[in-house]
Amino acid sequence: MRTTVIVCSIALLVMLAAPALAASSREIVVEVTSIAAAKRPASERGEAAVELDPRLGPFSKNLLSLFAYDSYTFLSKDRATVEFSDATVLELPEHFSIEVAPEQLGRDGSDMIEMLVTLFREVPRGERGRGTPEREVILRTKIRLKNGGTVLLGGPPIRAGVLVLALSARG
């Protein structure tokens, strides 16, 4: 009787958890935090050496130790769920957009998400003449990111300074 109860419990657990486990292997959650990094003129600098938006708390250690900008402003946070072998496009501030296409998770038994990341910038019509694509590829990179980890992408100029993106993914 006791064995029957145990076996039934385990069977129920597996049966009900299977869809969730299967779903976890089919798709990932992507989150992109957009940050404006800038250097302020000496006249605009306040008492604080570095001005950091409190909403950027999770990335403060990385931003302050890796870069020498003295102002970091939170612009937006976007999140999407995307299946493997599919792609999702997130619209970012300042006419940028990012496409994330996860390819696989856990190749060679590692807990890494393999994905193709493309950063686009919208080019206004007529800026480069007729026939020019509306979006230009600023960056295309293929990466393997630790499941649940973050990678920083940045460099393109924006009005407020330089665009920095914190791209996180979890499968």
Partner 1 sequence: MRRSCRFERYLTAFADGELPEKLNRKVEAHVGRCAACASELDSIRASDRILKSHGAPAVSNDRWAQFRHELKLELDVVDRESRRTAKIRETRPVHAPVPRRSYALAAACVVVLLVILTVGPLGVGPWRGGTAAASNECIVDSIESLAAGYTPMFFSSQDPEMTVIWVFSEEVEGGIRGEGPGAK
Residue whose CB is less far from partner 1, 125 or 148? 148
CA distance 31 to 47: 33
Alpha helices per DSSP H over the chain: 2-26, 60-66
- The reply to whether 132 sits near partner 1 by the rule CB under 8 A is no
Is the separation of the CB atoms in 77 and 33 below 8 Å? yes
One of 43, 46, 48, 61 touching partner 1 (CB under 8 A): 61
Which tokens belong to 171? Answer: 């499968």
CA distance 86 to 92: 20
One of 42, 43, 46, 65 touching partner 1 (CB under 8 A): 65
H helix and E strand count, the chain: 2, 9
- The reply to whether 45 sits near partner 1 by the rule CB under 8 A is no
One of 24, 76, 85, 132 touching partner 1 (CB under 8 A): 24
Binding site for partner 1 (CB under 8 A): 1-2, 5-6, 8-10, 12-13, 16-17, 20-21, 23-24, 29, 31, 33, 37, 39, 58-62, 65-69, 77, 79, 112, 114, 119, 121, 136-146, 148-157, 161-162, 166-168, 170
